[in-house]
Amino acid sequence: MTEVAEPLVRCDGLRKVYATPDGGVAALDGVSLEVGMGEFVAVCGASGCGKSTLLLALGGLLKPDAGMVSIGGAEPYAMNAGERGALRAERVGFVFQDFHLVPYLDVFDNVMAPTLAKTVPDGAQRAEALLDEFGLASRRSHRPSALSAGEQQRVALARALLAKPMFVLADEPTGNLDPENSEHVLRHLAGYAETGAAVLMVTHDPEAKAAADRRLEMAAGKIV
């Protein structure tokens, strides 16, 4: 594990309540945490505990009802929508369980998608290098429908890392994968943290949980 420096990402007192016919459910109930440079953190818990809501709030995608989020010293929810989008493009990479690849683009263009929101110096060369690193060079011109689940997740991970974000968020990244592909994805996430980034993964997978440097448990919207 790389020595952890000043937190790259932190939140304080996050609260998010979803309306229900019975009143409301607190998906986040006063959550505070920090993720440092070079740290790979797993947030674990049963379905419905609030971990995916936490991931979206930390990534600048879901405004909490209360509390503060800071990414590299910038507070996304103190910004307007355009500024917040630019911050995400500059500093955050997302890896989702369901991949979210663009079906009509080939593998290379899916990996290059972040360049639509941000200038990535030598983006094409970096995309080629990532495809080679992730064992996808031979699949460069294939569309997602021609790929296995493991290949799709590796494409999604390459896309997330293309712009060298300081903060990577992974939502159940091994949920649709077999053990071998899960191991590949976890190794790459851990390796990226070792470059100095902050990596936060939400998961209920014991193998994924064990791969992280630090593990936090959530229940009923709280870190327990």
pLDDT band, residue 6 (cuts 50/70/90)? low
pLDDT band, residue 47 (cuts 50/70/90)? confident
Give the per-residue pLDDT at 5: 52
Q: What is the CATH number of the domain that holds 76?
A: 3.40.50.300
Q: Where would I find the H helices in the chain?
A: 51-58, 81-91, 107-111, 123-133, 149-161, 179-193, 206-211
Q: Is residue 111 within 8 Å of 162, Cβ to Cβ?
A: yes
pLDDT band, residue 3 (cuts 50/70/90)? very low
Q: Is residue 8 within 8 Å of 71, Cβ to Cβ?
A: yes
Tell me whether residue 2 is in a domain: no
Please tell me whether residue 28 adopts helix, strand or coil conformation: strand
Describe the crossing of helices 179-193 and 149-161 by its angle, rounded to 10 degrees: 10
Mean pLDDT of 27-55: 93
Q: Into how many domains does the chain fold?
A: 1
Tell me the per-residue pLDDT of 111-162, one tens digit each, with 9 for 90 and over.
999 998 888 889 999 999 999 999 999 999 999 999 999 999 999 999 999 9
Tell me whether residue 217 is in a domain: yes
Q: Average pLDDT over the chain, rounded to whole?
A: 92
Q: Which of 61-65, 175-179, 181-185, 204-208 has the highest mean pLDDT?
A: 61-65
pLDDT above 80 for 40: yes
Mean pLDDT of 12-38: 92
pLDDT above 60 for 4: no
Q: Name the residue with higher pLDDT: 119 or 62.
A: 62
Angle at 203 between CA 201 and CA 207, to 5 degrees: 100
Tell me whether residue 125 is in a domain: yes
Tell me whether residue 1 is in a domain: no
Residue 117 domain boundaries: 7-223
| Total Cβ atoms within 10 A of residue 216 | 20
